[in-house]
């Protein structure tokens, strides 16, 4: 029944090339990479090649990359690993993904001095307020590269320079899940100490993420055991996930500029067609050209209601982050100053360059369902 999947910020379809690899890896490369015989050693080498490739895609082969079970795990790992910095301040963007925000709240519950950086109406962190909050006592900062709720882009390199100017010992983390293989950048130019990425947002499988750690930066051990992942995260490796993550990144890296053009076109086509059909929409924040679009199509219709009726017509969207599903208010939109009614009436549409999209068909369905729902609101 699904005709148009428009929730690619939640997850993406795994590339066909990777699905074809699944049986081969599990049947022919099932050996434990920690074993010492030839077959296992060869698999270990392939994992290291995958790691090197992901670092190359990020733009820093001299850095370290730790494979994790998810981006959520990587975010928790880096935020909670700085618990030894008692007496210091920790700054977080007010619109962070729940895996960062809830880790920050856990630090706060433990008595740490945690502060949240206000957002502009654009969805970006307020750089002026951020600069005011900085000081020698700030030990850790975490600001996402691209908002998972609105697609708003933060100028991480500028923010890192501001932070390091105030305290050159400060550690800076960025959740890059929605930016990796969507934007063209070199992580060395960003200047971050830590950076989180995820496989299932770029055509790879679920259950594998990674944390980039700048060369020379330390992080405590997360999981003790056999010493895998350089001792940071022990446990038998997810061989298929690691190799598939690398392959998905290579495919996206190859198509990066073309994909950006396709996504920008999808977005423009959608907004143009909504306008042609007389739908008076409003976009939450500023995410020009990005794959994520937070939009209110009618303040008379709840976003959740619209989501359900669209899904019955084969158009899948969301009301925001899947990790925030079930919550009544979108805290990111709230931090941007969006009104309560508009928040409850908004949906999130997120595009992929690898999936079919027809703006005329999608917008026709949206208009038909909006008319029905708006008529009911007057009954």
Which helix (H) or strand (E) segment holds residue 342: the answer is helix 340-344
Q: Do 199 and 68 touch, CB atoms closer than 8 A?
A: no
**DSSP strand E in 217-338: where?**
282-283, 292-296, 315-316
Strand-pairing partners, residue 7, are 350
Strand 138-142 vs strand 113-117: parallel, antiparallel, or unpaired? unpaired
Tokens read off for 172: 């800076």
Residue 61 has phi, psi (to 5 degrees) of -70, -15
Strand 64-68 vs strand 209-213: parallel, antiparallel, or unpaired? antiparallel
C-alpha to C-alpha distance for 171 and 213, rounded to whole angstroms: 11
Residue with tokens 């920690």: 34
Largest Cα–Cα separation, the chain:
73
- The DSSP code sequence of 169-210 is T-EEEEE-TTTTTTS---HHHHT-SEEEEESTTTTS-SS-EE
pLDDT, one tens digit for every residue, the chain (379 residues): 779 999 999 999 999 999 999 999 999 999 999 999 999 999 999 999 999 999 999 999 999 999 999 999 999 999 998 777 777 999 999 999 999 999 999 999 999 999 999 999 999 999 999 999 999 999 999 999 999 999 999 999 999 999 999 999 999 999 999 999 999 999 999 999 999 999 999 999 999 999 999 999 989 888 899 999 998 999 999 999 999 999 999 999 999 999 999 999 999 999 999 999 999 999 999 998 899 999 999 999 999 999 999 999 999 999 976 655 555 579 999 999 999 999 999 999 999 999 999 999 999 999 999 999 987 654 4
Which residue segments constitute the domains of the chain, with CATH numbers given?
4-12+256-377 (3.90.1150.10), 16-251 (3.40.640.10)
Helices 239-276 and 359-377 pack at an angle, to 10 degrees, of 70
Query: What does DSSP assign to residue 85?
Result: -
C-alpha to C-alpha distance for 50 and 52, rounded to whole angstroms: 5
Tokens read off for 111: 């008595």
Q: So which residues are the catalytic ones?
A: 323
Query: What does DSSP assign to residue 236?
Result: -
257 CB burial (10 A radius; 0-12, 13-18, 19+)? exposed
Residue 26, SS3 per DSSP: helix
CA atoms within 13 A on the CB side of 182: 32
C-alpha to C-alpha distance for 65 and 61, rounded to whole angstroms: 9
Q: What is the predicted pLDDT for the residue at 377? A: 57
**DSSP strand E in the chain: where?**
4-5, 64-68, 89-93, 113-117, 138-142, 171-175, 194-198, 209-213, 282-283, 292-296, 315-316, 346-350
CA atoms within 13 A on the CB side of 123: 26
Residue 175 has phi, psi (to 5 degrees) of -80, 105
Residues in the chain: 379
Residue of 295, 299, 348 lying closest to 323 (CA atoms): 348
Q: What is the predicted pLDDT for the residue at 379? A: 45
């Amino acid at each position: 029944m699904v005709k148009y999947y428009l929730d690619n910020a939640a997850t993406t379809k795994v590339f066909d090339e990777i699905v074809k690899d699944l049986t081969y890896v599990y049947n022919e490369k099932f050996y434990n990479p920690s074993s010492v015989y030839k077959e296992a050693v060869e698999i270990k080498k392939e994992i290291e090649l995958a790691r090197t490739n992901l670092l190359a895609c990020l733009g820093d082969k001299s850095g370290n990359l730790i494979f994790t079970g998810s981006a959520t795990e990587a975010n928790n790992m880096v935020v909670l690993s700085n618990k030894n910095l008692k007496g210091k301040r920790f700054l977080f963007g007010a619109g962070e993904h729940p895996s960062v925000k809830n880790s920050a709240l856990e630090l706060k519950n433990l008595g740490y001095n945690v502060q949240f950086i206000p957002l502009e109406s654009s969805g970006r962190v307020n750089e002026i307020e951020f600069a005011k909050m900085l000081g020698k006592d700030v030990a850790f900062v975490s600001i996402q590269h691209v908002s998972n709720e609105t697609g708003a882009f933060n100028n991480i390199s500028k923010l890192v320079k501001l932070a390091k100017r105030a305290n050159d010992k400060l550690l800076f983390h960025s959740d890059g899940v929605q930016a990796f293989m969507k934007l063209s950048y070199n992580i060395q130019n960003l200047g971050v100490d830590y950076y989180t990425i995820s496989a299932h947002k770029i055509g790879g499988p679920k259950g594998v993420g990674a944390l980039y750690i700048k060369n020379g930066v330390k992080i405590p051990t997360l999981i003790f055991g056999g010493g895998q992942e350089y001792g940071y995260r022990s446990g038998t490796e997810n061989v298929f996930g690691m190799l598939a993550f690398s392959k998905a990144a290579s495919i996206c890296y190859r198509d990066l500029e073309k994909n950006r053009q396709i996504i920008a076109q999808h977005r423009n086509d959608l907004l143009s067609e909504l306008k042609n059909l007389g739908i008076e929409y409003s976009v939450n924040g500023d995410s020009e050209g990005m794959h994520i679009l937070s939009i209110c199509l009618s303040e008379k219709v709840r976003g959740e209601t619209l989501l359900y009726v669209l899904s019955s017509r084969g158009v899948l969207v969301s009301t925001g982050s899947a990790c925030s599903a079930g919550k009544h208010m979108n805290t990111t939109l709230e931090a941007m100053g969006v009104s309560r009614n508009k928040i409850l009436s908004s949906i999130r549409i997120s595009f992929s360059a690898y999936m079919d999209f027809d703006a005329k068909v999608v917008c026709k369905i949206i208009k038909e369902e909006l008319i029905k729902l708006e008529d009911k609101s007057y009954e």
